[in-house]
Amino acid sequence: MRFGMGVPKTPGGRRESRTPMEVRVQITGHLAMPGTETTFTENVSAGGARVWSTRRWKPGDRLTIATLTGSFKSIARVAYCQLVPEAGFAVGVEFLESRDGWVIGSASAV
C-alpha cells in the first residue's frame, strides 16, 4: 500500500477481505464539485474499494466509479472519507449496482 493507512476498523469487522491493488478508476457524482476525477484504488474487494480523491465526500454520498481499462462501472455508496495530510482523501466505497466484472469476483461466483 502506497500510503500505509490501512482500512478503518468497523464494529464486527468486514464481510470481505481487502486486497492491496492499484486500479485506475474514474469517479463522478460529487454534488459541490461536478466533473470526473481520474484516480486509483489502494485496495479492493468483491463488494467495494478504497480510492484516493482530491475531494471530500460525505458518508452516504452516491457516486459512479468506472475502471479505465475493462468495462466495469458501478453506482457506489461512500462508507467513509478520511483526510490524509498531503495526499488528499481516502474514500471507502461499497458497490451498489454494477455492470460487468470487477477486478475481484464475489465468493459466490467461485
Residue 109, CA distances (Å) to 14, 105, 106 in order: 19, 6, 5
58: left (phi over 0), alpha (psi -120 to 50) or beta: beta
The percentage of residues in the chain with a pLDDT greater than 70, rounded to a whole number, is 82
Mean pLDDT of 53-61: 97
Cβ-in-10-Å burial (0-12, 13-18, 19+) of 101 comes to middle
Residue 52 has pLDDT above 60, yes or no: yes
**CATH level 3 topology of 19-101:** Thrombin, subunit H (2.40.10)
Q: Band the pLDDT of 14: cuts 50, 70, 90.
A: low
Q: Quick one: DSSP state of residue 108?
A: G
pTM: 0.82
Which of the pair, 15 or 92, is modelled with greater confidence? 92
CB 64 within 8 A of CB 27: yes
Domain map of the chain by residue range? 19-101
